[in-house]
Amino acid sequence: MIDLHSHTDRSDGTFSPRRLIELAKKNRVKALSITDHDTLEGYDDGVAPAAELGVELICGIELSARFRDDTIHVLAYFFDEPADEAFRGCLHALKTSRRERNVRLAERLRELGCDITIEEAEALGKDQTGRPHFARLLVRKGYVSSYREAFDRYLDESAPGFVPRKEPSLEDVFGWIRASGGVPTWAHPGRFLKQYKLDYETAFREIGACGCLAIEAYHRDHTVEFGNELARAARRAGLGVTGGSDFHGPTANGVPLGGLGLPYKLLDDLRAYSRKALAAAG
């Protein structure tokens, strides 16, 4: 089994890298990718325990970018070597942008009557503080009764507390990834495709023309049937296929790490496809 989408407490997950890898071992996940938001720290800290426990750890990350004037998430996989210093340097600008947004978000929440400070949020989120950490504070301080309510009332894109952050273009993000030998992948595209009523293959060809190499067809938000539809459309568009649980930690309605039961062959096929595509691109 494989799981190519997971998060640690180095971004917005709840488990340390070691604990996540221990869970992967327990759940019989042969190959795991840690794909924290905007940071490789979770992967870096997971290399030693993965080697110790015999779990194949793939260097990955999740970034945000603009596509059709909206935000999408992009997964990057570095199958042959960990991400290089050039790519890591690109992450520094993202970190600065994230903190600037968080400062404005704390100010906005105070304007809405919530006594929340950036220092409190950063105590929870450290270098990769984000909206999930603000949500935890809103629950802890009694402004809302649940994590979901925090987003619905304050933090979601349609909520009064939402503060956008400046995001790089899709071409920039794909360029950073491919220049460093990585495989850019459109993460969990289902909601976006349905919201805008897009033909799957047409959308995949469009994003492929921007430099995308793969589609995350299998995800906790997608039914098996829908995932298979997306996989067929991706392959018709000449793109690779991947998948993962998007595991952040144990939740009542969440999918366990490795819970999608994805076969190792999916990873073999994606590796073979991406190496051929990168070689052809020069």
pLDDT at res. 126: 65
For the segment 238-275, what is each residue's pLDDT rounded down to a tens digit? 999 999 999 999 875 679 999 999 999 999 999 999 99
Q: From residue 161, give the alpha-carbon distance in Å to each of 135, 190, 219.
A: 11, 26, 28
Lowest mean pLDDT among 113-122, 126-135, 194-203, 260-269: 126-135
Residue written as tokens 């952050």? 165
Measured distance CA(75)–CA(68) in Å, rounded: 18
pTM of the full structure? 0.88
| Arithmetic mean of pLDDT over the chain | 94
pLDDT tens for each residue of 183-223:
999 999 999 999 999 999 999 999 999 999 999 999 999 99
**Which residues neighbour 89 within 8 Å (Cβ) at sequence distance 6 or greater?**
none
Q: Which CATH class is domain 2-91+167-281?
A: alpha beta
pLDDT of residue 252: 57
Cβ proximity of 57 and 63 under 8 Å: no
Q: Taking the domains of the chain in order of start, what are their residue ranges?
A: 2-91+167-281, 102-155
Pairing of strands 70-78, 56-67: antiparallel
pLDDT given for residue 32 in this prediction:
98
pLDDT at 144 over 80: yes
Q: Residue 141: its pLDDT value, please?
A: 96
**42-45 CB contacts, 8 Å cutoff, 24+ apart:** 42/7, 42/8, 42/9, 42/10, 42/11, 42/13, 42/17, 43/17, 43/82, 44/82, 45/8, 45/10, 45/16, 45/17, 45/18
pLDDT in tens, 39-86: 999 999 999 999 999 999 999 999 999 999 889 999 999 999 999 999
Interval 135-164 mean pLDDT = 94
Confidence band (pLDDT; 50, 70, 90) for 128? Answer: confident
Mean local confidence (pLDDT), 142-162 = 94
